[in-house]
């Protein structure tokens, strides 16, 4: 049984559902079923994503005896309800964030998960770039002075741009930070080994209406923070920065070196020093064993986002088979992201520093 393919079902047929499906197929697993918003859409999605069957409803797929692991790639409001159904049916889950629409819903879901022996993995997939693992290894044991960076996108930069995520009822109370800011914070904590303890945030909403409807979520987030170890940092999060397609940048300053990762140039490790700048490319002899273990192709053959996501799914499925892959993000990390998001929202409301609920 340990060597047999896991039987996967995917709920949701948008961009991220297709990313999940590609990873499942790439790893040689069994993409059994897909469910989308309607039965006809499910049939179209099953054909497009390479699934064996279409299932009429999300709830039916989540409870199906023919599925071992449920991938939940729906609009955010359905994440927690469908995970509850899947866990009650004894399924493993790969759950897109946010893992819940409120701290109460997240806490309830986390307790339900801990009462089972199931794996619930959350796709903080940027952890799986080899260069990210190399930065993490290099800053371990170093005295970190500053953590800073940005995550910029432009897909909502025009006033005419819209999406279901702009409405809090479907996407949750935070959009820019809850959607991409949590990725930056997860990466910052994962790489630095430090936890964000308190935040001071501003959440600009610069487009008041989209497609004739009032917008009730932020377009950007400017966040200062302090870690539990007393290190300060900042990040700028934006979905309205023209020309920035998906620029996640993380910079960590130590006494001698600044280490920088840019998701749009993921093969490059930038290291700045007073006496000169050094650039390493993935596959260079200076990379350590953790980074090298993430190599999928020889140096000079670029690895990107889809490869990183596939690495995440590979570790998630290994955990479902009883393995213990180091660094796998789980529902606990999703709950952590929800706690930071809640603190960011409260800070913006109060215009003051707010403590992040420990967890």
159-194 pLDDT per residue, tens? 999 999 999 999 999 999 999 999 999 999 999 999
Residue carrying the six token digits 């999703």: 334
| Domain extent for 47 | 7-118
Q: Is 311 part of a structural domain of the chain?
A: no
Question: Among residues 118, 146, 170, which one ends one of the domains?
Answer: 118
Residue 2's pLDDT band (cuts 50, 70, 90): low
Strand partners, 253: 146, 258
Question: Among residues 71, 86, 118, which one ends one of the domains?
Answer: 118
Q: Are 252 and 226 within one domain?
A: yes
Segment 105-109 mean pLDDT: 97
Q: Are 114 and 133 within one domain?
A: no
Q: Are 110 and 186 within one domain?
A: no
Q: Are 223 and 251 within one domain?
A: yes
Q: Report whether pLDDT(158) > 80.
A: yes
Q: Are 138 and 91 within one domain?
A: no
Question: Among residues 61, 91, 118, which one ends one of the domains?
Answer: 118
Q: Is 322 part of a structural domain of the chain?
A: no
Query: Dihedrals φ, ψ of 152, to 5°?
Result: -120, 135
Q: Are 132 and 272 within one domain?
A: yes
Domain holding 67: CATH number? Answer: 3.40.50.720
Please state, in angstroms and rounded to a whole number, the distance separating the CA atoms of residues 166 and 155. Answer: 12
Segment 90-112 mean pLDDT: 97
Q: Are 219 and 242 within one domain?
A: yes
User: Which token pair is 280?
Assistant: 């390493």
Q: How many domains does the chain have?
A: 2
Q: Is 81 part of a structural domain of the chain?
A: yes
Please state, in angstroms and rounded to a whole number, the distance separating the CA atoms of residues 266 and 320. Answer: 28
Please state, in angstroms and rounded to a whole number, the distance separating the CA atoms of residues 50 and 24. Answer: 10
Dump pLDDT digits (tens) for 284-295. Answer: 999 999 999 999
Output the pTM of the full model. Answer: 0.97
Q: Is 278 part of a structural domain of the chain?
A: yes
Q: Are 106 and 162 within one domain?
A: no
Task: Tell me which long-range contacts 100-103 makes (C-beta under 8 A, separation of at least 24).
Answer: 100/338, 101/76, 101/77, 101/172, 101/173, 103/338, 103/339, 103/342, 103/357
Q: Are 136 and 227 within one domain?
A: yes
Domain holding 268: CATH number? Answer: 3.30.360.10
How many whole angstroms from its chain centre is CA 197?
20
Q: Report whether pLDDT(1) > 70.
A: no
Q: Are 19 and 134 within one domain?
A: no
Q: Is 321 part of a structural domain of the chain?
A: no
Q: Is 307 part of a structural domain of the chain?
A: no
Please state, in angstroms and rounded to a whole number, the distance separating the CA atoms of residues 8 and 32. Answer: 6
Dump pLDDT digits (tens) for 298-320. Answer: 999 999 999 999 999 999 999 99
């Amino acid at each position: 049984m340990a060597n047999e393919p896991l039987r996967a079902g995917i709920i949701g047929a948008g961009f991220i559902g297709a990313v999940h499906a590609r990873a499942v197929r790439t790893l040689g697993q069994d993409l059994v079923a897909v469910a989308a918003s309607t039965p006809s859409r499910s049939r179209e999605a099953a054909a497009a994503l390479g699934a064996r069957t279409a299932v009429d409803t999300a709830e039916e797929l989540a409870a199906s005896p023919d599925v071992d692991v449920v991938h939940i790639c729906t609009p955010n409001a359905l994440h927690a309800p469908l995970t509850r159904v899947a866990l009650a049916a004894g399924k493993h889950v790969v759950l897109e964030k946010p893992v819940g629409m409120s701290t109460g819903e997240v806490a309830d879901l986390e307790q339900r998960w801990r009462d089972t022996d199931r794996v619930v993995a959350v796709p903080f997939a940027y952890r799986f770039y080899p260069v990210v693992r190399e930065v993490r290894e290099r800053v371990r044991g170093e005295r970190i002075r500053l953590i800073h960076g940005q995550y910029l996108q432009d897909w909502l930069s025009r006033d005419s741009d819209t999406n279901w995520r702009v409405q809090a009822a479907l996407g949750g109370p935070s959009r820019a930070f809850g959607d991409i800011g949590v990725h930056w914070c997860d990466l910052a904590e994962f790489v630095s080994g430090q936890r964000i303890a308190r935040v001071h945030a501003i959440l600009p909403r610069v487009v008041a209406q989209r497609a004739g409807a009032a917008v009730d979520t932020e377009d950007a987030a400017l966040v200062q923070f302090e870690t539990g170890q007393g290190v300060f940092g900042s990040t700028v999060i934006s979905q309205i920065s023209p020309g920035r397609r998906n620029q996640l940048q993380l910079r960590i300053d130590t006494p001698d070196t600044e280490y920088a990762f840019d998701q749009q140039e993921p093969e490059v490790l930038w290291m700045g020093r007073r006496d000169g700048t050094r650039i390493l490319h993935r596959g260079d002899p200076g990379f350590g064993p953790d980074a090298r273990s993430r190599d999928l192709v020889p140096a000079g053959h670029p690895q990107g986002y889809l490869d990183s996501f596939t690495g995440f799914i590979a570790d998630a499925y290994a955990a479902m088979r009883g393995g213990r892959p180091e660094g796998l993000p789980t529902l606990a990390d999703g709950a952590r992201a929800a706690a930071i998001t809640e603190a960011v929202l409260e800070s913006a409301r109060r215009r003051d520093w707010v403590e992040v609920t420990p967890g």
